[in-house]
A = this chain, B = another copy of it.
Amino acid sequence: MARTSRFSGNVTIIDVAQEAGVSYATVSRVLNNDLHVKPDTRERVIRSITRLGYTVNQQARMLAGGRSHVIGLLVPDLGTGYIGEIMRGVDEALAAAQYDLMLYTTHRRKTKESAYVASLTQGMTDGLLLILPRDPGDFIFTLRQRHFPYVLIDHQGIGETESSVGAANYQGGYDATKYLIELGHQRIGFITGTMDLGCARERLAGYEAALKEHGLSVDPKLIQEGDFLQPSGFAAAQALLDLPELPTAIFASNDVMAFGVMEAVRDRGLRIPEDISIIGFDNIPQAVQVSPQLTTIQQPLAEMGREAARRLLGLIQEPERPYAHVELPTQLMVRASTRALTEKAG
């Protein structure tokens, strides 16, 4: 039996129906933009709705089989700025479609909460956006098996049966390297990201391709593995600076590692960019806050979020829509951490 419902504003569809002098199914039709409602009936219902201050009860709607108008966003640990940018785009697209956002953090899944995944897929959300899932294997398998709509953000290489949006990582890696080569650099150190991530592999591939296309050989000693975090950038740069023949430029697979590189270079008493040029990847807000400002490859993060959200919404509307991998263009942002190689240093 009815409990005292928690809050006051309990105007239901039935109250509206009474007010408007129609059946409550008609009200439902109006709410769901059903075409088969006479204009003035619709008019009358809408007036009653506003007069009574009615708002739909999402839970009831969900339970009855409608859409929840919530989409889930699964993110790895927050607070990198990187995620924030993507979220900004997601939120924007969702707001436009009157969708709400449920936030799930990846690390939780490690725990035994199977309820976690259940909550995701049991109609609490209409679809799922996954940012850079680390070990997406079985999780995504479940999603696919249930025909649950989802879109991957910044994660390529799982298969061709995924909808995903990412950045042009290969092209970005290529562009950065080419830019450095055109500045006259020949010994260009490269610091990779976590190599089980597609984006990391693609950036490396772009780097190698640019080198080869310009007749330069790929020197394995100039390639150091990193993990996208600052300390690894620092360590990798140290290794690079310990080489008998110093690189004249270092390309880090993301900005955060580039900051580590800056630190290491300065520790050695070398100047940026006079002695060593540095280039990053991402163009996070901090890139302009460091000194010298960091030359980097811009990822269209907010746009990626926006696009992913739009695709997901499309998938929800039309589940049979074909899969597609969208790759948004990156852009070279030239700033102060790179400069042309002077003759003497050649």
Contacts and interface: CB of A to CB of B under 8 A. Distances in A.
Contacts of A81: 79, 81, 84
Interface stretch (A19-27, A33-41, A54-62, A210-218): A54-62
B103 A101 contact: yes
A321 interface: no
Given A79-B84, A111-B95, A118-B55, A102 B101 contact: yes
A142 to B, nearest CB: 9
Contacts of A147: 6-7
Question: For the side of the interface on A, what is the size category?
Answer: 35 or more
Contacts of A119: 55, 58, 100
Interface stretch (A156-164, A186-194, A283-291, A325-333): A283-291
A77 interface: yes
A148 interface: yes
Interface in A1-57: 2-3, 5-9, 53, 55-57
Given A78-B87, A102-B101, A124 B58 contact: yes
A230 interface: yes
B55 A59 contact: no
A83 interface: yes
A88 to B, nearest CB: 6
A115 interface: yes
A88 B77 contact: yes
